[in-house]
Amino acid sequence: MGVKASVLYTRLPVATNLPSEAELLLVVQEAQRGSTDAFGQLYNHFFAPVYRYAAFRLPQEVAEDVTADIFVKVWEKLHTYVPKRNIPFAAWLFRIASHAVIDVYRRERGFEEVPEHVPDGDPLNRPEASIERKELLRIVRNALMQLPRRYRDILLLSYVSELQHREVAKVLHLTEGAVRILKLRALRKFEQFLPPEMRNRP
């Protein structure tokens, strides 16, 4: 494919190294037993991908509030998560995130889905580099906005929130095979909406 999928990454907060599913489950179980320290670990681990997901869909000030609300809901519903149902915890959490974003649209209609400006959290960035990234971010968002919702969700969950195919499948109620096929189609469609000079970037 001409355009690299990496064009979908932004300079929003970067996720830390992901633990294995088994390690994550141990933390989840501790949190389910009421450990606020364990829940703090979950919060620190998932904050960046959840915020990136919300920030691509909502204005910054709304995304911040929605992200906070999402983690309140996660804490309140944590006891309902059952690993034996074969749903990865990340998928379970992002279902809550997805529903929270949809709820915002149902309540408020006075803003565009994607904001024009997202803060760059890296204080070492040069001003000209920051401007270039913001322009790239604007281009990417404009292209994403023209995609069907299912395509947009697959790309955001895969590349912005960095979920695995299995997790994306669980969030969107699809098979892993369907996710792979739809992601390929989404990337091809996404490339069509990019400026010509970006379509064949190495």
Report pLDDT for 64: 87
Residue 179 within any structural domain of the chain: no
Q: Which domain holds residue 116?
A: 11-147
Residue 123 within any structural domain of the chain: yes
For residues 19 and 101, give the distance between their C-alpha atoms in angstroms, rounded to a whole number: 26
Number of independent structural domains in the chain = 1
* Domain of residue 36, CATH code: 1.10.1740.10
Confidence band for 34, pLDDT divided at 50, 70 and 90: very high
| pLDDT surpasses 60 at 46 | yes
Residue 132 within any structural domain of the chain: yes
Report pLDDT for 125: 42
* Residue from 122, 134, 73 nearest 65 by CA: 73
For residues 87 and 170, the answer to whether their CB atoms sit within 8 Å is yes
* Residue from 95, 53, 49 nearest 73 by CA: 95
For residues 182 and 164, give the distance between their C-alpha atoms in angstroms, rounded to a whole number: 14
Residue 157 within any structural domain of the chain: no
Residue 186 within any structural domain of the chain: no
Residue 4 within any structural domain of the chain: no
| pLDDT surpasses 80 at 120 | no
| pLDDT surpasses 50 at 50 | yes
Report pLDDT for 119: 46
* Residue from 191, 80, 93 nearest 139 by CA: 191
Confidence band for 62, pLDDT divided at 50, 70 and 90: confident
Residue 17 within any structural domain of the chain: yes
Residue 165 within any structural domain of the chain: no
